[in-house]
Every structure is written in C-alpha cells, then in structure tokens.
Structure 1
Amino acid sequence: MTAATGQRAAGLDERAKGRAFAVSIAVAVLTILDLSKVNVGLPSIQKALHTGPTELQIIVAGYALAFGLALVPGGRLGDVLSRKTMFLIGLAVFTLFSLLCALAPTAGILLAARFLQGVGAGLQMPQVLGLAQELYQGERRARALGVYGASVGLGTALGPTIGGALILLGGPVDGWRFIFWMNVPLGLVLLVLAARVLPGKHATSEGKSLDPIGVGLLGLTVVAFMLPFVLTTGQGHDAPARWFSLVAAAGLLAGFLAWERRYAARGRTPAVDVGLFGRASYRNGLIVATFWFAAGPATFLLNTLLLQEGLGLEPVFAGMVTIPFALASAASSYAAGRLVNRYGRALVVVGLVVAAVGFGLSLTAAVLAPPALVPWLMAAGLLVAGAGGGSVVSPNQTLTLSEVPVAEGGVAGSVAQVGQRVGTAIGVAGASAVFFTVLNADAAGSKLGDYHLATLGGGGLAILILLVALGFALADLGRRRKQGTS
C-alpha cells in the first residue's frame, strides 16, 4: 500500500466526500429496509409457500441474526484490509441473495437465501460508520451521523409502507417477491456507483491482524445468544430446550473475553478491543441503542399484525400508518445531529421520554379507539414517537463513538450494531410471543377484542423495554454531569 493510496480519504474534496457518503447511506437504507418491509409480506409468504410459524419467524429474525453475525468480521476486515472492498463484497452478496429470495420456489430456499442476504448486509454496514469517521471530523462528523440516524429511521419506519405498496403492485400471491426484486436493480446501480466514488484503502490499518479465533468465538457467541429468540414464536410450537443455548452463549462469551485479553497481551491487535467497554460513553450508548432497537421494530411488527390480521387492512394501508413516524424521525434526527454537541446525553433522555409517550398514545388508540379511527389515531401517536425517536438514534450514535479512535471505527461501529440486531431479535421475539400467546389463549382468537388484548400485551412489553433504555440514559446523564460534561 502506498502512502498516496493510504491518504485518499483525507485528500478528497468536499464534493467527493459528499458523493461517497451519499452512496454509503443509500446502501445502508437499502439493507435496513429489509428489517421491516418483509413483515407485511408474511401472510402472503405463508399462503404461497405453506410455511409454519417457525419458518415465518426465521424469515424475519433470521435476517437480523445473520446481519448481527457478520457485523464484527465485516468491521474487522474493513479496518484491516479495505473498507471499500468489504463494502462492495457485502453489497454484492446482499444483491445476489435478494435475487434468490425473489425466485425462491420453496420455504427452505427462501430461508437459506434470507440468511445469506443478512450476511451481505452485515459485511457492508460497518463500512458506513467507518467511512463516516474517516471522511469527517468534529462537528461535521456529528452532522454526518445525524444524516445516518435520519436515514436509518426512515428506512426502518418506511419499510412496511414500501413492502405494502410492492405487494399491491405484484398481487396477493406473488407480491411478496417484489419486496426482494426491488433490491436487485438498486443493488446493481449502487455497486457501480460505490466502485467509482468510495475512497480506497486507508493507512490506519498498519500492523493489525485479523484475529480469526477471536472473530470466530464472537460469532458463535452471537449465534448462541440470538438463536433461542429467533426460534420463539409464542404459538405453542417452541421447544423449551432452545433456552439451553444461552448457557452455551455465556461460556463462549467468557472464552472470547479470555482470548482477546491473551491476544492483546502478546502484543497483537484483538478483533475487539475489550477496553472499548471501559469507555463509559461507548458502553452506555451501546446499552441504550440495544434497548431502543428492541422496542421499535417490535412495535412496528405488532402494528402490522393488528392492522392486517385484526382490522383486515390491505398491506399498503397498514404500512402507511408508520409514515408519520418516519417523517418526524428523519426531521428530528437531522436537527439532533446539529444539537448533540451542545446538549449531549440530555437530548437522548428527552427523545426517549417523548418516544415513550408517543408509543403509549399509539398503543392506547390501538386498544380503545373505534376500528374506523384506529389507523388514524395510531399514526398520530407514532408522529409523536418519531419526533422523540429521531433524538435518540442520531445523538446516541454520536455519543457512543465520540471517544473511539478512527482506526477502530469499523469494529466499534459493528459491535454497536451487533447490540442493535440482538436487541431487534429479542424485542421482536418477546413482543410477538406475548401477542400470539394472548391471541391463542382463547379458541375464538379471530375476534377483534382478542387482537386488542394481544396488542396491549406485546406493546406494553415494548414500552417497558423503552423505559429500561431511559433508565440507562438517565444514569449516564447523571454521570456526565458529575464529571462536568454533557
């Protein structure tokens, strides 16, 4: 690697940096969309491929599992080798297996393709945050992360709407295939653009090693921890033995931490610097993000189940209920990116309070309002939640990475996103398990009243999870004020 090549990112002019960052954000949105837009297609997939509840759960949570599994290896390889190379490989894998998902003739092929699609997403996503840290510094980095937060919020919240529109376009039988077809042309176009505008290999990786044993142990830990939640449906088909996987996860985590310390003591660079978790800003931000991403996607899934299955809305109309959340979240996230350096953790605390109030209002509307008014009142509550949510994701991302060296940006960002994917898997599994347990408790589970009660149970759990995030944010705010920081 030449010095000129190593300094490419630093030598880019502002327009070139803007183009590179815009392409990376577009790819991030494309992959984040698949965390939520597939939800509205589940009834169609069930009818077309004759899937059971476990298969449907894996289609949703299996993507998050693979996503989380590939994040740390992807971040590590990006930091050590080349972020651009790993970005292109991840996007190519994501696009290829999106095509296979669209063509899948059986549930088994769809499950396998969906898992590998998640691997592609996990390989490229760490490069987005790594590039943001590489391209921008100080206030400009905070603004860039604000744009990232706004984009992620839009992708998560607009996923059901886009998925519903694609099902409407493709029809009730094969419309779900359009959800995956959408990724193919967009992925190909973005591959060409990324190859042209992303900066090449950077100079911060000198002297680093891949630490394959550490990466492997962490990957096995993530799988062992997430697996029982991925296999939880709440519909009476779940094997109790799946929870033994958590014991294996604890053992693997202990082995991973011991290996990383030993690896570092030998003068080598471990896959994850355990010292990252000694930074309170990083540790607390990671916890807040994990609980936030446990509550948000779970709420959107419950909304979809109530509106489609309970109220009988078409997927496109059920998805449109989240549009106010998406717009409010994007606006507040962009604004929060400019304010975070002034207000710090207090901004996250306010955002969590407002989001909890909004989700509570939406849940109240779902349970108590007349059926004709439920979608409208839920959308109003989600508007409030979105205004708060945008002040959570973007500032928290900035605060989490504020003390992390640029050279470790990819791995630090990927570990943080592992927490997000773990949170998503746990939140979705927990909320949906409560939902279906309540729904199936009565033989007349098709009654609207049962859907209301099931939504109340699952949605109440999601709000409790959000309040846990608020507790950690308040504790961190108190710590910062004692230290005289924001």
Structure 2
Amino acid sequence: MKTLWYQAGGGRIVGCVTATSASPLSPATGAPPVAAGRPALGPLGLFTVLLGASLPLIDFFIVNVALPSIDRDLAAGPALLELVVAGYGLSYAVLLVLGGRLGDLFGRRRLFLAGMTAFGLTSLACGLAPDAWTLVGARVAQGAAAALMLPQVLATIHSSTEGVRRARALSLYGATAGLSMVTGQILGGVLVAADLAGSGWRAVFLVNVPVAVAGLLLALRTVPETRSDRPAPVDVAGTLLLALALTTLLAPLTEGRAAGWPPWTWVSLAVFPFAAVAFWRVERRLDRRGGTPLVPPSLLDLVSLRRGLVLLLPLCMGFGGFMFVIAVALQQGLGLGAIASGLALVPMAVAFFGASLAGPRLVRRWGTRVVTAGGLIQGLGIGLLAVTVRHAWPDLSVGILLPGMALAGLGQGLQLPVLFRLILSEVPGERAGVGSGVMVTTQQASLALGVATLGSLYLGLAASAPDAALPATLLVQLAMVALTTLLSLRLPRSAG
C-alpha cells in the first residue's frame, strides 16, 4: 500500500489516494499517476484529446469533395474556392507555434477548451454562411481556432504520460492524424450526398458542432491541466516574422494559379526568403542571449526532431497534394459523385488503420526501419496507381483503384505514426508546447504546400491533357516518396 498525491485544475495539490502498488489510480483521470506531482492522462482523457486532434485535420480535407457543391450554391468561382481551402490552411499554419506557446504559458487544458469552443462556433458560422466571402472569413477564423486547440493535444500527451504509455499515446495520435486526413474526404462525400435536411455542403461544417460540444463536456472531466514549469512571455518579433514568412510563401502558391499569377504573388514570393532569414536570425540572437524565442534554434540540436522534421516535409506535401488531386480528378475529371470519390479512399483508410495498429509492435523489433519499409510500400502503391490510371483512363472505378490505394495507405500507416513519435521523443516536458507546435506547423505547412504545388500541376495539365494529368502528378508524388525513403535511412534507429 502507498499514498499517492494527485493534482487537478491548474496543478494545485488537492488530495491523495491510497492504493496498492499493483493498481494505483489517479482519481482525477482514472489512470496511473505519471510521477510525483504530475497529473496523468487516463484512457478517456486520451480519447478526448485525440477527438480534438481529429477535428482540424478532418476539416482540412472534408471540404475537397464539397467544393463543387459550394461553387454551385454560392457562385464562388475558382479564386474564392481556393480561398475556402487556403484561408483555413494559412491561418492554421501561421498560428500553430503561437498556440503551443500560449498553452505552455496559460495552461494546455484551458487553451484546449478555448480552442474547442471557438472551433465549434466557427464551424457553425461556416455552415450558415450566406455567401462565399462570409464562408472564406469563417474558414480563416476556424483555422485560427484549430491552431489554438491542436498543439495542446501533443503537449498534454507529452506532459502527462511516460514510458510505454507515452509511446502508445503518440502512436495513437499518429494513427488518428493519418486516418483523419483520409476519412475527412470519405465523410465529406457521404454528408454531401446525404443532403441531410436539405443542408447539402453545409453539413460538412455543421457536423462539427455536436462533436465540439461533446468534446468540451468530456474535456472538463477527463483532461488534466498541465503547463510549463518555466513559462516565458510570447516572442512578439518572432511570431510576426514567422507569420510573414509563412504567409508570403503559402498565400501566392495557393491562390496564384486561380488568380492568374498577378504581380502581388511574385512580390510575395520574393519577400519570403528575406522574411525567413530575418526570422531565423532574430530567434538565434534571442536564444543566445538566454531569452525564450518562439522557435528555439537549440531545439533543432535534437537529432530525432531535426531529421524527423526534414522527412515530414516531403511526406506531408505528397500526402496533402494526393488527397486534393484525387478528389478533383475523380469528381471533375471523371464525373464521379461525392460518394464514389469518397469510397475510392476506403481501402487506403482501412490499410492505414491496420498498419497503425501493428506499428508499435514492429517498431519495438525493427526501430525506425519501419519508416523505410513504409516508404517502399507506399512507393509501390503510388506507382501502381500511376500505371493503372494511365492505362484505364477514363474507365476508372473504385475496384480498379483498390490495390494501389490499399498499398499506399499501408505504407503511410507505417510512416506517419512512427515519425510523430520519433520527432517528440527527446523534447523535454517544459518545451512540450513549442515542440508540438513546431512539428504540427511543419505538417500543416507541408500539407498546404502539397495542395498548392501538386494541385496546381494537376489543374494546369488537366486543361490541355486530361488523360495525362493524373499519372504525371502521381509520378511527381512518387519522386517525393523516394526522397522520404532515402531520408528515413538517416533517422535514429530507436523511435523513443
């Protein structure tokens, strides 16, 4: 028998419990305490934060299959449709690191609750938008809410779990992230086709509202409060420069093609390298002076984080671009409905889920070589899809695409969860918020870059050679997969 002190709320000791050494429990969360004086995240709390993690990622992709319906209903046009996607992704990416820092400063549970509330309200605003510009504004606000909520998920996991429980939780986060990206488009297709109560495309946003309410009620009871032991003030200069750098890169790439590449897009791209260099110099100077920069350059001294982020960039670029292109190609190129284009992704989702479940056991035996194997399998799947599309176009069907989709999903499921776990494996607890913010910002910016680059490539080719557009785009993604596979050989053998 032993007495265990536990925490709740803002970290204040509020009581104790006596338990046997075989089954100690934290009354606040229903889980074993992590360490003396630290709150623990129980199974229901983990489910709650993973639910919060799934919402922003689902919403990045759920819109893809709803775009034709939005265009018909709101007469949006190509430029505004791009903004519906890009506005969300841009505000989301720009504010993620700041969201992580605010969680370190004010408490991650508090920011998670605030972000969940804001996400539900902005989803309601999207679903009720009377015109295209209102929808764009609501999507920008929705992205900002997501940036407030999502970094708290990983930071909470990192700060309230240890050892095997942390490894399992991070693997589940990776599985949730990947499945959310795939199932977002499947769910979008089902909701648009179902036309619930005549809501049409609006259902893809309104469905978030009851989920957010449920998440709030669960979080109030099951998610412990954590924060940095040494909270630091917000790095205003670093925040503004990072926002400038990401905006000047992502805005012209996502909006340029639809807008006809006006002068502002080229000016913006020219400003990007100067903004990026200025950001890095300001952060490095502040770090050397003993301050607390928004993105501490010393954080990149962690080999697992640095090499993992380098690999995450092409992996998520390819993933984001593929999901966007396949939705457009199946609906606009082949005239398939929302349901059929969503069903085409089911084999990918099922294979990803299976690989995610097997991943932890495989990692214990083979380490990060599982990521290399995943890259090879994904490459085989993408290559098979390219060959299938090239020879079967325009007589494609869900059945013909199934083998390639399943292999691609299997490979991605062996990569993404392991990579998330590896990137955060060496990040100290007091930097959990900023470490999570940096990783998720890289992921989100890469997804947006993939949509912008591969999407622009496909749409440009589709105008002149519709039968060659999708195979050519898939071959470019295959080159990205080859790059990720090579980069995986430089990862530390252990995933933490």
TM-score, normalised to structure 2's length? 0.89
Structure 2 partner of 1:225: 249
Between stretches 241-250 and 23-32, larger displacement belongs to: 241-250
1:185-219 deviation per Cα after TM superposition (whole angstroms, max 9, x unaligned): 111121121122111244x3325222222222222
Contact 1:9 1:134 in 2 (8 A): no
**AA at the equivalent of 2:481:** L
Between stretches 464-473 and 399-408, larger displacement belongs to: 464-473
Between stretches 263-272 and 90-99, larger displacement belongs to: 263-272
Q: How far apart, CA to CA, are the structure 2 residues paired with 1:309 and 1:367?
A: 17
Q: How far apart, CA to CA, are the structure 1 residues paired with 2:30 and 2:426?
A: 25
**1:353 and 2:368 equivalent?**
no
Out of 1, 4, 10, the residue aligned to residue 13 of structure 2 is 4
Q: How far apart, CA to CA, are the structure 2 residues paired with 1:361 and 1:276?
A: 39
**AA at the equivalent of 1:226:** L
Out of 5, 11, 14, the residue aligned to residue 31 of structure 2 is 14
Structure 1 partner of 2:230: 206
1:33-65 deviation per Cα after TM superposition (whole angstroms, max 9, x unaligned): 111111001111111111121211121222111
Out of 255, 269, 281, the residue aligned to residue 304 of structure 2 is 281
**AA at the equivalent of 1:168:** A
Q: How far apart, CA to CA, are the structure 2 residues paired with 1:309 and 1:424?
A: 21
Structure 2 partner of 1:72: 97
Written as runs of structure 1 = structure 2, the 5 A alignment for 1:242-257 is 242-257=265-280
**Helix, strand or coil: the match of 2:13?**
helix
Gaps of 5+ in 2: 1-9, 17-24, 33-40
Note the C-alpha offset of 1:5: 7.2
Q: How far apart, CA to CA, are the structure 1 residues paired with 2:79 and 2:196?
A: 25
Structure 1 partner of 2:424: 401
Between stretches 74-83 and 132-141, larger displacement belongs to: 132-141
**Compared with structure 1, are the counterparts of its residues 48 and 2 closer, same or farther at alpha carbon in structure 2 (3 Å cutoff)?**
closer
Contact 1:281 1:402 in 2 (8 A): yes
Aligned residues: 471
Structure 1 partner of 2:54: 29
Q: How far apart, CA to CA, are the structure 2 residues paired with 1:69 and 1:104?
A: 24
**Compared with structure 1, are the counterparts of its residues 115 and 186 closer, same or farther at alpha carbon in structure 2 (3 Å cutoff)?**
same
Q: How far apart, CA to CA, are the structure 1 residues paired with 2:263 and 2:365?
A: 49
Written as runs of structure 1 = structure 2, the 5 A alignment for 1:85-100 is 85-100=110-125
Q: How far apart, CA to CA, are the structure 2 residues paired with 1:207 and 1:10?
A: 27
Contact 2:104 2:231 in 1 (8 A): no
Structure 1 partner of 2:73: 48
Q: How far apart, CA to CA, are the structure 2 residues paired with 1:255 and 1:85?
A: 32
Between stretches 19-28 and 136-145, larger displacement belongs to: 136-145
Q: How far apart, CA to CA, are the structure 2 residues paired with 1:468 and 1:6?
A: 53
Between stretches 164-173 and 291-300, larger displacement belongs to: 164-173
Note the C-alpha offset of 1:2: 6.0
Note the C-alpha offset of 1:297: 2.1
Written as runs of structure 1 = structure 2, the 5 A alignment for 1:60-459 is 60-170=85-195, 174-202=199-227, 204-233=228-257, 237-239=260-262, 241-369=264-392, 371-441=394-464, 450-459=465-474
Q: How far apart, CA to CA, are the structure 1 residues paired with 2:48 and 2:433?
A: 17
Percent sequence identity is: 32
**AA at the equivalent of 1:313:** L
1:68-117 deviation per Cα after TM superposition (whole angstroms, max 9, x unaligned): 11210100011122001111111111111111111111111011101110
**Helix, strand or coil: the match of 1:4?**
strand
CA RMSD of aligned residues (A): 2.5
Q: How far apart, CA to CA, are the structure 1 residues paired with 2:233 and 2:116?
A: 24
Note the C-alpha offset of 1:272: 1.6
Structure 2 partner of 1:465: 480
Q: How far apart, CA to CA, are the structure 2 residues paired with 1:159 and 1:375?
A: 18
Contact 1:143 1:334 in 2 (8 A): no
Contact 2:287 2:297 in 1 (8 A): no
Note the C-alpha offset of 1:341: 4.2
Q: How far apart, CA to CA, are the structure 1 residues paired with 2:264 and 2:90?
A: 19
Higher helix fraction (1 or 2): 1
Between stretches 23-32 and 261-270, larger displacement belongs to: 261-270
Note the C-alpha offset of 1:236: 7.2
